[in-house]
Chain A
Amino acid sequence: MSIINYAAKEINFKVVYYGPGVAGKTASLQHVHRSLPDVNKGKMISLATGDDRTIFFDFLPVSALTVRGFVTKFQLYTVPGQVYYNMTRKLVLRGVDGVVFVADSQFERLKENAESFRNLEENLREYNYDLDRMPCVIQYNKRDLPNAAPVPYLEYMLNRRARRVPSFESVASRGAGVFDALNTVSRMVLLSEFGQEQEVQRNAS
């Protein structure tokens, strides 16, 4: 849910990085954090276990272009990917405006990707959000690995709903493709909240 503050001239949105464990959600946020100048970002917070697995969420506030005099701010969150952390995943989705689904491209992780995607849809439904109306992009990560499945194959697995969402190849550890996905979802969020219906559809197709 967007929050518009006319007094502070700010619009706030929440974007959640979702996906199976060790797919590169935290790495994507770390790249965003590394790449932005201080003036456009806040402090990154990671609630992780001793072995760097996200246990609750990572959090990074960033700001984007000013729109009609309003500073647009995006709060980026990740969720813990492991199956047994579903309750925390659900909590983090509260009030979400847009989703970046980070898929692990490796052949042996295809099942986990599909399960996580299904889990995203279920958890959104608990808040009465419809995945087909939610601004969403898919980021196929780990494209540099030799056992990465071809993108058309991943598309067939994860992106064959009635509404196909924009998808991007990425290598989050190097930062490649991370901003392509983030810039697109932020644009989709803005259009979905304040754009015209046809623009929203054009942007998502």
Chain B
Amino acid sequence: MLRDLVIHENEAARIGQVLGSFLEESGASEALLIDRSGQLLASSGKTATFDTVSISALAAGAFSSTGAIAELLGETEFSVLFHQGVRESIHVSTVDGETILLAIFNDGTTVGMVRLFAKEACRAIGAVLAEARAQPRRVGALALPLTSDEAGGRIGPESR
């Protein structure tokens, strides 16, 4: 069973720090930390032009489907995924069983540099996430159960 994940300010700051140093050392332009169900957990980067929410959903899908190919080949998974474009390329690597790290980079660096520093970053982020997963879910504002009224959950106009 996949576990719920709670990221507090402290973990968010530590993850932000790791992503920041990763970008600096590797020369990549964007780093996205993505849950394997497709949700963006954290991001860091020099430009804000990419649609990071869509990229996260699609990258998680691509990573899972290549994982399924790996299984058909008798592998547990492919721990790294690399797509090369004319200007921008992406490198995806495994953080832990539930999370992946995606780096977007261009010809300002090389895939070797990105791979090298991604490995280090994944290890550091994995440690932070392990602590985050061990924490209780219902704390702070969410410590007390929601009432029926509070959980309105209304997304759009109903039409009968």
Contact = CB atoms under 8 A, between A and B. Distances in A.
The bracket for how many chain A residues form the interface is: 35 or more
B48 interface: no
B146 A190 contact: yes
13 contacts: A3-B35, A43-B54, A56-B65, A59-B58, A64-B153, A67-B146, A68-B146, A72-B153, A75-B39, A95-B36, A189-B153, A194-B146, A195-B146
Contacts of A91: 61, 64-65, 68
B49 interface: no
Given A1-B3, A67-B151, A35 B156 contact: yes
Contact of B153 (A92, A95, A186): A186
Interface string B34-52: 0111110100000000010
A12 interface: yes
3 closest A-B pairs by beta carbon, nearest first, are A95-B37, A7-B12, A187-B153
A32 B156 contact: yes
Contacts of B68: 87, 91
A6 B155 contact: no
Contacts, number: 177
A36 interface: yes
A70 B153 contact: no
Interface of B: 1-9, 11-13, 35-39, 41, 51, 53-54, 57-58, 61, 64-65, 68, 137-138, 140-142, 145-148, 150-160
A94 B64 contact: yes
A160 interface: no
A194 B138 contact: yes
B146 A95 contact: no
Contacts of A35: 156-157
B8 A187 contact: no
A140 interface: no
A2 B151 CA distance: 15
Interface string A1-34: 1111111100010100000000000000000100
